[in-house]
Structure 1
Amino acid sequence: MSNLIIAEERPQAAPPGPPPVPEDAGAGGRFGAALREILADTTAFARHQEANLRPEVVAALGERIRATGVKYIYYMIPTLGSRTVAKVVPAGHFERMLRKGIAFHRTALTDLQTSREGELIGGGVDAHEFWGLPEPETFQVLPWDDEVGRIFCTAYDPPHLGAAGGRLIPLDTRALFRVAHRAFTERTGLELRSGLEPEMTWTGPGIEVVAKEDQSPAYQVENLEKMRPVYKKVIAYAQALDFDMIQGDYEDDGQIELNWDYDRAELTAERMTSYRQICKQVARELGLEASFMAKPYNGKMGNGCHHNLSLWRRGPGGDENVVEDGRVELHATETARHAIAGMLLHAPGSMLVMGSTVNSYKRYWDAGQFAPSGADWGLDTRGVAIRISANGRMEYRLPDASVNPYLSHLYLLAAIEHGLEAGLEPGDPGEPSAVIRDVVIPNTLGSAIEAFEADAYLMGAMPEELTRIFLQLKRDEWGRYCGQITQWEFDQYWEAIP
């Protein structure tokens, strides 16, 4: 479920300036320096292409395609807005695709969004194409049509651009998080693992819910039974795509949450991309509608996407969860405390990622519903931003179900490394340290834009092109919203003003 907000509490206005950032913030610390070095590598495309064309790689992919009987393949890349773009290619051309990949106009990575001023965001109509090279190990058969497969690709600036070519494009958030996580592990010896709790709302014939006034329909088996056709198909398709589905429940009118087991964070994020596609396919098959919109209805719980995080050190004797130390009582270890402090310090600056739409912020204004509103942490309480619900796990509760999971994990990873690197302390539950005492969570998309720009560490940690274009997209969205006249305004002012 989303998080509890006490009925008499209201979201606070943002302070006039950002909270103080420790002096060691620099230009994104080690995280930013490493990412800049990775993105400057002009040999990245050539090395990927060379790996694709190894005889054993070509033979293995060809054998898998023949064995599965796949006739068509989607070559696909997630976008900055958490959609997915793809080209469909007859399967027999797989070797050609391993060499050349797909090509799209560069603005496909920014969802081909045109600004209110008529500019195609992400480079305009004159922007060059990007080239997306397939990752053959990601080949899978779509369980709803065994003649169709899919392969994820990585986006590069074409080598023919000369000195500007051959590099990984930072707008490919899937690839960006993967290389950032790999570098983080090389520096720290730690691996980020995560499990998501994606909530979504379904509507359509046969799944309507009737409940008593002020009584939640959550958890009732009768409501699960109404959703049986949905969860059976979703779980079956997910399992066919190698999800380890573990549990699910009914939470509010038409809202269900189906969970899969935690894993390395890049795999978890990739499964979230697949999960959205699965749900949309099931909705088509059942004549329903399925939405990951953050807050579809007033007075009902919003669709959250809690991120359950842990840090692991891999070793010859087995993997060790370093935010767990064997104590029985609920607690946070020293490592966990540093990570928590980093995430809370940078919660305002990353909120534009965690709540990326105008609608995202409606979750925090609906009193009595489960949604966090403060930069705080606690032990097994649902009214905080970070909850220790079990030893060894940090539940980050701010993201909603519309989140780009690659981008959310990327920003969390940067914040965690800052906390670890600087030894930041969060204070005790209910007693925040000086580092986070004045941190306030933005409560509108507009204030989130301001907090995003004001976070010097995160702005330095992330690629300039990514933050610049993401800001342009979000400013345009906020401007469009602010310019709309709503029914609420008519109801309030049409007759009420003398």
Structure 2
Amino acid sequence: MSDGPALLGEHRKLNADSALVKEIEERVRESGVEYVHYQTVTISGRVVGKTVPARHLRRGLEEGVRMIRLVLADMRTDRSGNPIGGGVNATEFVAMPDPDTFAVLPWDPGSARFLCRLYEPEQGPEETAGRPLPADARGGLMRLHGAFTQRTGLEMRTGCEPESTWTGPGAEAAEGHRVSPAFHADSLDRLRPVYRRIVAYGQAMGLDMVEGGHEGDDGQLEMNWAHDRAERTADRLIDYRRICRQVARELGMDVTLMPKPPGTGLGNGCHHNVSLWRGEENAFTDPAADRLHLTGTGRHALGGLLRHAAAMAAVLCPTVNSYKRLLHGSDFTPSRIDWGRETKSCAVRLPANGRLEFRLPDALANPYLSHAVLLSAMEDGIRSRIDPGPPKGEGGNAVPFPALPGDLGRALELFAADPVVTAALGTGLADLFLEMKTAEWSRFRAAVTDWESAEYRDAVC
């Protein structure tokens, strides 16, 4: 997977390669695929796209599919009813499939999918015609990472730990349950149909499923796959979330990745484990470096993550509900911008295996955006030689670590004020993200909640 062609025409030529087309056509025939889905991901992380009969595979590879650009903002409007991301007269964008993402859907062997990169139409103004669409989160991460590697010789590798909450048959707490179900063998066994199907589907779609377990809330499951280059991890997280939804449908259950579902204690996080590599050498770890085995590159990258954590929160914790997890979670959920050795209450944990576990992201984060801001924060830390300071509980800290933003509104203000974080998305995508999320915050502030009804309805009667 490369950072990709610079223009739509170049992508078309790559996809028209006869050997490549022949290979995919053969895979379609062997698998009995009848339909191919051309998919992309919106700013909020939703999967959208179009379906094309497999007999038009060559046409789809060479021409892609067109979609209205409003879809990238989930067809949302602001409070005045104006469409976010362009009006009804805005030009469509072109979604071009990446052939190396072809996968047969294990729950529907008659269908396959491509993930796409997005472009401006070639018939547009000369300055934009055929160029990458600024609002393309997936393509943006690929270009950002490619440019970072060219500048530094480093590659970002990550692994994610998405948590989900399952309700329905088998997810109920055991009768008389009085202790935490975390890692409890019987609690996990109750979800056996869920995790067995997730693993089977995940492996069929290229996720190297490595481990999983029951977390601390009833019906809460975490399933992990092997770490990889950042773009691949982001693609696989999108696939994983779709797999969860499909498994829930098949088993007659409900699943949510909502950061703080009602009645839960911990909430659903999605810790991002990050490291930078030069070839097959981990640039973060050196047994001879210091007692933490953290290289200068690793320390400075950590410093960048801490310096920009508050501004990144809007991307890593992108919903109103996200801040209920941070403020009303548990000792395992970060609330301050701190770091520590094997300390699971911190925003960043330094395990013993050459990675930084960033514990702020939740399970609704768009993984292309989350990886983009983390990469830019680390590069700024390395470039500016930012010192992370001593870990929590060491070095005689007299001043408490700063708090994370308390709500989405404050997070958006900090996001807009940080040029390193906004530059990670690029002007077009950062502006659209801010517009979309500001409208979401505005809708929430105008909503009357159940808590308000219970608190004030009969207050003076």
Residue from 215, 228, 241 that aligns with 2:205? 241
Aligned ranges for residues 43-82 of structure 1 at < 5 Å? Answer: 44-82=7-45
Aligned ranges for residues 3-82 of structure 1 at < 5 Å? Answer: 44-82=7-45
Q: 2:204 is aligned with what amino acid?
A: A
SS at 1:412 equivalent: helix
2:312 match: 350
Out of 367-376 and 463-472, give the one that drifted further. 367-376
1:231 and 2:185 aligned: no
Residue from 377, 387, 404 that aligns with 1:415? 377
Tell me the CA shift for residue 367 of structure 1: 5.4
SS at 1:399 equivalent: coil
Tell me the CA shift for residue 92 of structure 1: 1.1
2:153 match: 189
Residue from 51, 62, 74 that aligns with 1:88? 51
Q: 2:334 is aligned with what amino acid?
A: P
1:255 and 2:204 aligned: no
Aligned ranges for residues 111-260 of structure 1 at < 5 Å? Answer: 111-163=74-126, 164-210=128-174, 215-251=179-215, 252-260=217-225
Residue from 361, 367, 377 that aligns with 2:323? 361
Q: Deviation per CA, 1:35-80, whole angstroms, max 9, x where unpaired? A: xxx99x9x51111111111221222221221122211110111111
Pairwise CA RMSD: 2.1
1:325 and 2:286 aligned: yes
Q: 2:223 is aligned with what amino acid?
A: L
Identity of aligned residues (%): 45
SS at 2:22 equivalent: helix
CA distance in 1 between partners of 2:329 and 2:165 (Å):
20
TM-score by length of 2: 0.94
Aligned ranges for residues 427-466 of structure 1 at < 5 Å? Answer: 427-430=389-392, 439-466=402-429
User: Would the aligned equivalents of 1:426 and 1:432 in 2 still touch at CA under 8 Å?
Assistant: no
Tell me the CA shift for residue 459 of structure 1: 2.8
Q: 1:323 is aligned with what amino acid?
A: F
User: Would the aligned equivalents of 1:298 and 1:366 in 2 still touch at CA under 8 Å?
Assistant: no
Tell me the CA shift for residue 469 of structure 1: 1.0
Aligned ranges for residues 226-305 of structure 1 at < 5 Å? Answer: 226-251=190-215, 252-305=217-270
CA distance in 1 between partners of 2:266 and 2:23 (Å):
47
Q: Deviation per CA, 1:276-335, whole angstroms, max 9, x where unpaired? A: 111111111000011111100245210000000111001xxxx10011113595443221
User: Would the aligned equivalents of 1:303 and 1:401 in 2 still touch at CA under 8 Å?
Assistant: yes
Tell me the CA shift for residue 353 of structure 1: 0.3
User: Would the aligned equivalents of 2:369 and 2:425 in 1 still touch at CA under 8 Å?
Assistant: no
CA distance in 2 between partners of 1:390 and 1:141 (Å):
37
Structure number with the bigger relative contact order (C-alpha 8 A, sep ≥ 6) is 1
Tell me the CA shift for residue 472 of structure 1: 0.9
Tell me the CA shift for residue 214 of structure 1: 6.3
User: Would the aligned equivalents of 1:386 and 1:397 in 2 still touch at CA under 8 Å?
Assistant: yes
Which sections of structure 2, spanning at least 5 residues, go unmatched? none
> Aligned residue pairs: how many?
454
CA distance in 1 between partners of 2:408 and 2:428 (Å):
20
CA distance in 2 between partners of 1:263 and 1:215 (Å):
36
CA distance in 2 between partners of 1:290 and 1:110 (Å):
23
Q: Deviation per CA, 1:189-214, whole angstroms, max 9, x where unpaired? A: 00000010000001112321137676
TM-score by length of 1: 0.87
CA distance in 2 between partners of 1:93 and 1:289 (Å):
36
User: Would the aligned equivalents of 2:266 and 2:330 in 1 still touch at CA under 8 Å?
Assistant: no
User: Would the aligned equivalents of 2:350 and 2:357 in 1 still touch at CA under 8 Å?
Assistant: yes
Q: Deviation per CA, 1:128-147, whole angstroms, max 9, x where unpaired? A: 10011111121110111111
Aligned ranges for residues 336-415 of structure 1 at < 5 Å? Answer: 336-366=298-328, 368-415=330-377
CA distance in 1 between partners of 2:381 and 2:38 (Å):
38
CA distance in 2 between partners of 1:212 and 1:385 (Å):
35
CA distance in 2 between partners of 1:140 and 1:225 (Å):
30
CA distance in 2 between partners of 1:376 and 1:438 (Å):
6
CA distance in 2 between partners of 1:105 and 1:345 (Å):
37
SS at 1:390 equivalent: coil
CA distance in 2 between partners of 1:433 and 1:242 (Å):
47
CA distance in 1 between partners of 2:17 and 2:119 (Å):
20
Q: 1:356 is aligned with what amino acid?
A: P
Tell me the CA shift for residue 457 of structure 1: 2.6
